[in-house]
Amino acid sequence: GHLGDEISSETCKLSVCFSDGSEILTRSYMNIPDTNDFHLMVLKSSGESVYDGPYGGCPEVLDVSPGSYTVSVRSAEFSRPAFDFPVFGDEQCVVVQSQGHAYVNLLCTQVNSGVRLDISPEFKSSYSDAVLYLKSSSGSLMYSFAEKRTAYFMPGAVTLLMSRGAVDN
């Protein structure tokens, strides 16, 4: 145990910031919160939480022990498909060396994907009794013929299903 105590008592520093230009990107979208309101999580490889809260509330320098850390930031929680719900953020791994100071430059990119269907009038009249669904591994959304919103999904396969009465196609 004594050796482990020595290692964990070493002080190292970890700083997290957004790369230049991230603010401009988030402001160019409507209804995206300011990056200060993004949810930031800093986890040690052991699963121990170093910081869990708003990005704007994180100290400029975190005192940590040597080891590897996962730094994750999100504009919102997103686990199931939803309409008009783009999510921005980043996730990076960083190794903090003994007595070192590690810097994480977060990028602000869209982490989910949008899908919009363009349904022709001929299709609508031919299948007027049909219901369309967009389905992924995390859930599905009913997509009406009148739908104008964008459906958002996490990366992965998205399947279009058509249901007519009790028959799925």
Please report, as a single letter, which amino acid is at residue 19.
S
Model pTM score? 0.79
Provide the strand spans (E) within the chain. Answer: 12-18, 39-44, 49-54, 62-64, 67-74, 82-83, 88-96, 101-106, 109-110, 113-115, 130-136, 139-143, 151-153, 159-164, 167-168
Q: Which residues pair with residue 39 across a beta bridge?
A: 54, 74
pLDDT per residue of the chain (169 residues) written in tens, 0 to 9: 344 444 445 789 999 998 876 655 555 555 567 889 999 999 999 999 999 999 999 999 999 999 999 999 999 999 999 999 999 999 999 999 999 999 999 988 889 999 999 999 999 999 999 999 999 999 999 999 999 999 999 999 999 999 986 555 5
